[in-house]
Amino acid sequence: MQEPRPAEKATPYWWEAAPVKPLASAPLDAKTDVVVVGAGYAGLSAALALARAGRSVSVFDRQNPGEGASSRNGGITSGNIRLDHPTLVRKFGAERAMAIEAEGKVAREFLYALLAEEGIDCDFQPVGRFYGAFGQGNYEQLARSAEKLSKSLGIESFAVPKAEQRDYLGTDFYDGGSVRMDIGGLHPAKFHAELLRVALAAGVTVHSRTGVTAIEPEAGALRVSTARGEVSARQVLVCTDAYTDGATPWLRRRLVPVRSRIIATEELPAETMARLMPRRMMCGESRHLGFYYRPSPDGKRILLGGRDGSTKGDPAEPTLHLRRGLVRIFPELENVRLTHSWFGNVAMHRDMIPRIFSRRGVTYATGFCGSGVVWAPWIGTQAAHKLIGDDAGRPSAFDFRPPAAIPLYRGKPWFMPAFMALYRLQDKLAMRRAGRDG
Ligand X SMILES: Cc1cc2nc3c(=O)[nH]c(=O)nc-3n(C[C@H](O)[C@H](O)[C@H](O)COP(=O)(O)OP(=O)(O)OC[C@H]3O[C@@H](n4cnc5c(N)ncnc54)[C@H](O)[C@@H]3O)c2cc1C
Q: Where on the chain is the footprint of ligand X (CB under 6 A)? A: 37-43, 60-63, 67-70, 72-76, 78, 211-212, 239-245, 247, 260, 262, 292, 305, 344-346, 366, 368, 370-374, 376
Q: How many helices (H) and strands (E) does the chain have?
A: 10, 16
* 3-state secondary structure (DSSP) of residue 102: helix
Shorter beta-carbon distance to ligand X: residue 38 or 135: 38
| Beta partners for residue 230, in sequence order | 225
Select 169 or 322, whichever has its Cβ closest to ligand X: 322
Give the nearest distance from C-beta 121 to ligand X in angstroms: 19
CB nearer to ligand X: pick between 55 and 340:
340
Of 135 and 257, which CB lies nearer to ligand X in the complex structure?
257
Separation between Cα atoms, residue 393 and residue 418, nearest integer Å: 40
CA distance 18 to 208: 16
The distance of closest approach from Cβ of residue 68 to ligand X in the complex, given in angstroms and rounded to an integer, is 3
Residues in the chain: 438
CB of 333 to ligand X, least distance (A): 20
Q: How far is the CB of 263 from ligand X (least distance, A)?
A: 10
Per DSSP, the three-state class of 366 is: strand
**Local structure of 221: helix, strand or coil:** strand
Q: What is the DSSP string of 375-413?
A: HHHHHHHHHHHHHHT--TTPSPTTBSSPPPPPTT-SS--
What is the radius of gyration, based on Cα positions, of the chain? 21
Smallest separation (angstroms) from ligand X to the CB of 316: 17
Are 85 and 102 contacting, i.e. CB atoms less than 8 angstroms apart?
Answer: no
**Which residue number, 133 or 304, has a Cβ lying nearer to ligand X?**
304
Tell me how far, at minimum, the Cβ of 105 lies from ligand X, in Å.
Answer: 15
Residue 361 backbone dihedrals phi, psi, to 5 degrees: 80, -5
**DSSP H or E run through 195:** helix 188-201
For ligand X, the closer of residues 41 and 110 by Cβ is: 41
Beta carbon nearer to ligand X, 24 or 163:
24
| Nearest approach, Cβ of residue 71 and ligand X (Å) | 8
To the nearest whole angstrom, how small is the minimum distance from the Cβ of residue 69 to ligand X? 3
Of 259, 269, 262, 260, residue with least CA distance to 338? 262
Nearest in space to 145 (alpha carbons), one of 123, 163, 160: 160
Name the strand (E) or helix (H) holding 319: helix 317-329
Which C-beta is closer to ligand X: that of 256 or that of 346? 346
Report d(CA 315, CA 307) in Å as an integer: 14
What is the distance, to the nearest Å, from the Cα of residue 342 to the centroid of all Cα atoms in its chain? 15
- Residue 76 or 143: the one with the smaller Cβ distance to ligand X is 76
From the CB of 282, what's the least distance to ligand X, in Å? 8
